[in-house]
């Protein structure tokens, strides 16, 4: 296997643990036998980016300027292709996608592709309040011909709180709470769960539930990056 010729830029820090998990997955999924066959990666853990959901809900500063700063720096530093390890950030990125000077591997599109493979008849979408309110996944799934099932408003609020627990480092309790929500959803429709926030795969690890019934947005993004970098 030859070393990829393109350098991957990772705009992370949204949150830091999710960015670290993406890098772990990227290393695990790379078809490489030695260090030199892994892709060159530039990671910008840009934790100064304002909270995306808080702004969408009208309670905080606009993250767009910092997203632009992060993208510009990664391109300046030599990135040939970008990923951003935050789903809600893609609501803002969609508004400027045509202005980004290098390709963007889109976490929403990659996650829907993996959901289509695992469960063509649909899946439950679990995400932050910001992602839910913007209709980000609804927009892209309609374009890609896929159907999601959605939690109630109360369940959605619980799921958002679970992502905040992971950001605060309380991942085990987040997983226990996530398991309860998932059980309620799957009682209504026995479908896989899509973790459409980069904190949710970290919580799912602590649910004790079957891995094959969960679509991780982080793993989906890592698979998309590997596909692109190695031209598989």
Catalytic positions: 86, 197
Ramachandran area for residue 208 (φ above 0: left; ψ -120 to 50: alpha; else beta): left
191, two tokens = 């479908």
Q: Which residue in the block uniquely carries the two structure tokens 């030859």?
A: 2
Are 91 and 62 in contact by the 8 Å Cβ rule? The answer is: no
| β-sheet bridge partners, residue 9 | 42, 82
d(CA 123, CA 186): 10
What beta strand segments (E) does 76-218 contain? 81-84, 123-126, 148-149, 193-195, 214-216
Determine which helix (DSSP H) or strand (DSSP E) holds 173, and give its type and residue range.
helix 171-188
Are 172 and 141 in contact by the 8 Å Cβ rule? The answer is: no
> In 10 A of CB 213, how many CB atoms?
17
Instruction: Provide CB contacts within 8 A for 117, sequence distance 6+.
Output: none
- Helix/strand/coil for 172: helix
Show the DSSP H helices in 2-47 as ranges.
Answer: 16-29
């Amino acid at each position: 296997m030859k070393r990829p010729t393109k350098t991957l830029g990772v705009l992370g820090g949204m949150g830091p643990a999710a960015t670290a998990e993406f890098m772990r997955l990227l290393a695990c999924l790379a078809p490489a036998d030695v260090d030199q066959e892994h892709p060159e990666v530039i990671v910008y853990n840009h934790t100064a980016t304002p909270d995306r959901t808080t702004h969408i809900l009208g309670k905080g500063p606009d993250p767009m300027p910092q997203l632009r700063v992060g993208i510009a720096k990664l391109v300046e530093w030599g990135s040939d292709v970008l990923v951003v390890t935050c789903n809600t950030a893609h609501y803002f990125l969609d508004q400027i996608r045509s202005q980004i000077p290098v390709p963007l591997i889109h976490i929403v599109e990659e996650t829907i592709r993996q959901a289509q493979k695992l469960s063509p008849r649909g899946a439950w979408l679990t995400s932050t309040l910001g992602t839910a309110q913007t209709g980000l996944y609804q927009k892209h799934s309609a374009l890609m011909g896929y159907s999601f099932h959605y939690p109630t408003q109360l369940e959605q609020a619980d799921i958002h709180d679970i992502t905040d627990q992971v950001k605060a480092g309380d991942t085990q309790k987040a997983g226990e709470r996530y398991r309860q929500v998932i059980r309620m959803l799957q009682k209504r429709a026995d479908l896989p769960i899509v973790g459409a926030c980069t904190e949710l795969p970290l919580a799912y690890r602590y649910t004790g539930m079957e891995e094959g019934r969960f679509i991780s947005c982080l793993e989906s993004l890592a698979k998309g990056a590997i596909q692109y970098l190695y031209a598989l």
